[in-house]
Amino acid sequence: MTKYKILAFFLIICLRVTSQEFKDRLSIKVGFSNSTQLWGYTPFSHIRPPEKSIQSIFFNVQYAQPITKKSDITIGFQTMEKGFRSTYISDFDPTSQFSQTYEYRLSYIELPINYIYHWKKYSFIGGAIVSYMWEDAYRFKEIDILKNNNKTITYYSNYSTPFIYHDRFIRWDFGINIGIARKIYKNFDIELTMQEHYVDYDKWKTRDLVFNECFLLGVRYTFLSSK
């Protein structure tokens, strides 16, 4: 219920603000995120393969404060999902086949603060981001296939639950945010951003979960914008 209370509170604040100037500077962004695990502090560190990444839909609300004719300072509120997945398959024995998949699905609320420079139809984005993990889920799926005397027996297990040890994770995270945007139609921009985080948030140090790195592609709509 905590996530719904946070979202409801934020929406109520937005609806209570009636300033035309505020609405002119407000925008929303919806898009697709791909979140992976990085083994070091830089983009040149080892990144987990794509099949071990977590894909999800993200949502962002942003307020822009102009500081010059071509630049803004923005502050936003964002929700997204990160984590890790892995699959093991064994089919060496002709009489049996085994596959197992597990996932960590980690839900974050985030506060990105960026400097944006506008040039023609493009915008260049750079700043910092603070994240808080408000929910964690562990998903597990196993399939066992046994073949004997022309008969096939399948055992199937699938479940999702909050991780049993709630103190495993460091909840707060922070990092940098860089990206580029291009205006595509009137008040609509398409944005590509990358987030790199600097907290090794797994207290168990299992190496499944290390440093978050996320790639986000979305469309931003600016309300009543004259730009």
Q: What is the pTM of this model?
A: 0.83
153, β-bridge pairs: 146
Least confident of 57-61, 96-100, 157-161, 223-227: 223-227
Pair of tokens at residue 94? 């002709």
At 103, which helix (H) or strand (E)? strand 96-119
Q: Report the distance separating Cα 107 and Cα 105, nearest Å.
A: 7
Q: How confident is the model at residue 44 (pLDDT cuts 50, 70, 90)?
A: confident
pLDDT at 2 over 70: no
**Predicted pLDDT of residue 148:** 78
C-alpha distances out from residue 76 to 69, 112, 165, Å: 21, 5, 31
Q: Report the distance separating Cα 74 and Cα 180, nearest Å.
A: 14
pLDDT at 6 over 70: no
pLDDT: is 6 or 180 the higher one? 180
**Predicted pLDDT of residue 27:** 93
Give the contacts of 105 (CB within 8 A, at least 6 positions apart).
Answer: 54, 81, 83, 136, 137, 138, 139, 160
pLDDT, mean of residues 159-164:
84
The answer to whether 56 touches 36, Cβ cutoff 8 Å, is no
| Helices within the chain (DSSP H only) | 2-16, 20-24
Least confident of 76-80, 96-100, 214-218, 219-223: 96-100
